[in-house]
């Protein structure tokens, strides 16, 4: 039996949409961070309406209302891109069910994110709910990276061989770094609103705790890089670069009292780091093609 990828996967349009989806997933996190950093998190004090009487922001809400409502509108941009991705992969739903399911998961994640964002407004920006909002964004970005790589690979499909312990440890290290970073943010001054609660943790201590898993993960990546074949070192080198930039920005922003500009950069780099880590781990643990995999299944 012969299997081949549909022409749509070779179409540059699909790759462009997959790239647009990944960029949008990262971009909306950065704009969401700007909402919090400008103290506009409750610019629209309710959800799904902006006020009790209005769907959109009103002049009385001022600049904070404009910023918060503008970020809400960006959700629809993300939704349009995700729908376009699902539509572009429609013809591939039988030959590439892996891509189809991933695209549907990304599409389903957008309203879920909107609901969690709405709940965060209802609970007056509780730091743990806001943190959950960020965790979901990280998951969405990781899924988007995998979709992009599988689209680029065309007829190749992920077949997890024996995943190295190093790769799992690096994935765990990135996850722990992100989670501790969320807790650190929840203890800091940028709450999104002057009246928003903090988690009560000691900010200076949390900054130190946040750095430890990051340094351990960098060490693991360096060890993996030393053990990798030359063809698979590119993504690991990229990950080292991302961590280096993140650590530098983190130290500088801490010394300067957490200026909003550097905090925004730190948030954006966090999503880029997660994306590169996903790509590096994916590339180190996948091989094979649809034809090979299906022939093996038939046998």
- 28 closest CA partner among 62, 66, 76, 84: 76
Q: Which residues pair with 120 in a beta bridge?
A: none
Q: How far is CA 138 from CA 40, 54, 156, in A?
A: 22, 31, 25
pTM of the model: 0.87
Task: Render pLDDT for 237-262 as a digit per residue (tens, 0 to 9).
Answer: 999 999 999 999 999 999 999 999 99
Cα–Cα distance measured from residue 286 to residue 29, given in angstroms and rounded to the nearest whole number: 28
Q: How confident is the model at residue 155, as a pLDDT?
A: 57
Q: How confident is the model at residue 37, as a pLDDT?
A: 92
Asked whether the CA dihedral 28, 109, 198, 178 is positive or negative, the reply is negative
Answer yes or no: is pLDDT of 135 > 90: yes
Work out the mean pLDDT of the chain and round it to a whole number.
Answer: 86
Cα–Cα distance measured from residue 120 to residue 108, given in angstroms and rounded to the nearest whole number: 19
Extract the tokens encoding 211.
């750095």
Task: Render pLDDT for 161-213 as a digit per residue (tens, 0 to 9).
Answer: 445 677 889 999 999 999 999 999 999 898 888 888 999 999 999 999 999 99
Phi-psi region of 193 (alpha: psi -120 to 50; beta: other; left: phi over 0): beta
7-16, 50-59, 223-232: which range is least confident on average? Answer: 7-16
């Amino acid at each position: 039996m012969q299997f081949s990828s549909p022409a749509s996967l070779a179409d540059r349009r699909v790759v462009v949409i997959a790239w647009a989806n990944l960029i949008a997933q990262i971009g909306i996190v950065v704009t969401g961070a700007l909402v919090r950093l400008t103290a506009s998190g409750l610019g629209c004090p309710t959800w799904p309406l902006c006020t009790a009487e209005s769907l959109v922001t009103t002049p009385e809400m001022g600049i904070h209302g404009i910023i918060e409502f503008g970020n809400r509108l960006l959700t629809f941009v993300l939704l349009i891109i995700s729908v376009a991705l699902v539509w572009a992969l429609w013809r591939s739903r039988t030959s590439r069910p892996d891509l189809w399911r991933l695209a549907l998961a990304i599409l389903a994640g957008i309203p879920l994110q909107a609901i969690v964002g709405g709940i965060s407004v209802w609970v007056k920006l509780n730091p743990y709910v806001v943190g959950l909002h960020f965790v979901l964004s990280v998951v969405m970005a990781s899924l988007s990276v995998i979709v992009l790589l599988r689209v680029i690979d065309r007829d190749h499909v992920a077949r997890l061989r024996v995943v190295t312990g190093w790769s799992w440890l690096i994935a765990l290290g990135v996850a722990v770094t992100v989670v501790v970073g969320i807790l650190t943010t929840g203890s800091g001054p940028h709450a999104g609103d002057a009246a928003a609660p903090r988690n009560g943790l000691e900010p200076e201590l949390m900054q130190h705790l946040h750095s430890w898993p990051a340094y351990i993960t960098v060490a693991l990546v360096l060890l993996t890089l030393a053990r990798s074949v030359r063809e698979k070192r590119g993504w690991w080198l990229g990950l080292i670069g991302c961590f280096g930039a993140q650590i530098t920005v983190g130290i500088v922003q801490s010394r300067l009292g957490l200026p909003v500009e550097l905090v925004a950069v730190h948030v954006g780099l966090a999503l880029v780091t997660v994306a590169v880590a996903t790509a590096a781990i994916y590339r180190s643990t996948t091989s094979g093609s649809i034809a090979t995999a299906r022939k093996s299944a038939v046998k």
